[in-house]
Amino acid sequence: MSSEDKEAQEDELLALASIYDEDEFKRAESAQGGETRICLELPQNFKIFVSGSPTECLQNSGFEYTICFLPPLVLNFELPPDYPSSSPPVFTLSGKWLSRTQLSALCKHLDNLWEENRGRVVLFAWMQFLKEETLAYLNITSPYELTMCHQDEQSRTSLFPLNSELDCCGAACAAAAQEEILDERTVQDVESLSSLIREILDFDQAQQKKCFNSKMFLCSICFSEKLGSECMYFMECRHIYCKACLKNYFEIQIRDGQVQCLSCPEPTCSSVATPGQVKELVGEQLFARYDRLLLQSSLDLMADVVYCPRPCCQTPVMQEPGCTMGICSSCNYAFCTLCKKTYHGVSPCKVTPERLMDLRSEYLEADEATKRVLEQRYGKRVIQKALEELESREWLEKNSKACPCCSTPIEKLDGCNKMTCTGCMQYFCWLCMRSLSRVNPYRHFNDPSSPCFNRLFQAINVGGDVWDDADVH
């Protein structure tokens, strides 16, 4: 190795290390060489379209994805002793989303760049070409359609991009396609199209997150500018808030049991946080509560799911169609799915006084079909009794008053306003409902300071007429 070649190689490798970060350029430890990982600059709203061969069952077939990044092209190189004066770098080129024919065309162009720059370092020119001109050189446009073809010779699967015509990749690509010449320096190992799509989407998401973390954003809650690494955005609407504000917001909602309301704080936005975002921000205990309540709210929407009525259990129980018996899989408690009491077979459900009041209103407002269901559930006699008690209570409220001492309902048919309770024998005034003296109950009506003075016979019905004290002598 001449001193000029050695110095040129060292200068080139040091320059590349200073231009690119460790993810893009890595120098080899044991030889004069290294590896470059080149991410292409994609146009905005670049799409990939997935199609499978007729014989291949492909879950993602027929789907279109919008991406910002594709997995990098990997250029591994080694510098011979007489580079750059005489020999070019020895290299291999790999890229999973390109076919070997396309990779061969790129290798051919790298050779042409060396011929144009013979005697000078060429690695930077190669990397710039791959980064900035690959799509145009191979005539790759959006949507970029991917499928799989099978090579019988080697019994392995390779990638075949449908919308990138093989005769549109420049003269080198056309020649390679026509003669089926595949450059031995190309590496294109794809296990399956499904795994490739997963790899593309995962890489795109990771790169987008990396870019997001390095930028500054204004939180719409606290109005502070923070790095993306301290922020979070909702997937659907892309509204951005700092993690501290979202953490407080999520914790308040979860403590209040509003797990369905973990939506974007923007007033008119309906985007919802993903469970992964919630788990990242709140503590383990609160996330467990969120997870439990979210599951419960989902089960509540299922008509065939009831909960074990034991307070210490509350396990979800699947209800068999047409059957009112539920058996808890956790505690083996057999219960009625209607009244939540111990299973009582074909006997009607027992009704508490509180439920009886609701049942009356529910029965009176129900249609005929619902009435039959209620009669079957609680029994027709229970329903009839509830209605009779309702009528009795309404009549008593309209025609009687409660004794001020024992609350016994008292009806007044005629006579004076000094009443005697049939339950506790207490005297009381019908007009003001005050208890009267047992020694002299009439003093209440004779005392000028009493509100019922001279009203002992007020509002007495005689022959259908109302008499006042002024008419009675």
Contact 305, 314 (CB under 8 A): no
Cα separation, 77 vs 89, in Å, equals 6
Residue 202 neighbours by CB under 8 Å, 6+ apart: none
pLDDT at 391: 75
pLDDT at 145: 86
Backbone dihedral angles phi then psi of residue 404, each to the nearest 5 degrees: -65, -15
* Helix-helix angle 100-116:123-137, to 10 degrees: 130
pLDDT tens, position by position, 92-104: 999 989 988 999 9
Backbone dihedral angles phi then psi of residue 123, each to the nearest 5 degrees: -60, -45
pLDDT tens, position by position, 142-199: 888 887 553 433 333 445 454 444 333 444 444 444 445 788 999 877 777 888 888 9
Backbone dihedral angles phi then psi of residue 419, each to the nearest 5 degrees: -105, 155
pLDDT at 76: 94
pLDDT (average), residues 111-128? 94
**Residue 374 identity:** L
Cα separation, 385 vs 381, in Å, equals 6
Average pLDDT over the chain reads 81
Of 180 and 273, more confident: 273
Of 339 and 138, more confident: 138
Which residue is associated with the tokens 């509180």? 354
pLDDT at 384: 74
Backbone dihedral angles phi then psi of residue 197, each to the nearest 5 degrees: -60, -45
- Strands 334-336 vs 325-327: parallel, antiparallel or unpaired: antiparallel
- Tell if the pTM clears 0.75, that is, is over it: no
pLDDT at 284: 87
Which residue, among 223, 222, 219, has the nearest Cα to 232 in the 3D structure?
219
pLDDT (average), residues 208-232? 91
pLDDT at 167: 37
Q: Pick the range with the lowest mean pLDDT from 46-55, 302-311, 314-323, 402-411.
A: 46-55
pLDDT at 372: 78
Asked if residue 438 has pLDDT above 90, the reply is: no
pLDDT at 470: 42
Cα separation, 147 vs 61, in Å, equals 9
Which residue, among 190, 182, 242, 201, has the nearest Cα to 71 in the 3D structure?
201
Catalytic residue among 269, 416, 424, 452: 416
Q: What percent of the chain has pLDDT over 90?
A: 32
pLDDT at 396: 82
pLDDT at 61: 52
312: annotated active-site residue: no
Which structure tokens are listed for 28?
Answer: 């080899």
C-alpha of 346 from chain center:
42
Asked if residue 58 has pLDDT above 70, the reply is: no
What does the radius of gyration of the chain's CA atoms come to, in whole angstroms?
44
Q: What is the DSSP string of 307-370?
A: E---TTT--EEEPPTT--EEE-TTT--EEETTT-SB--TTSPPP--HHHHHHHHHHHHHS-HHH
Of 388 and 28, more confident: 28
pLDDT (average), residues 19-45? 89
Q: What's the length of the chain?
A: 473
pLDDT at 230: 93
Sketch out the chain's domains with CATH numbers.
Answer: 3-205 (3.10.110.10), 215-300 (3.30.40.10), 353-399 (no CATH), 404-473 (no CATH)
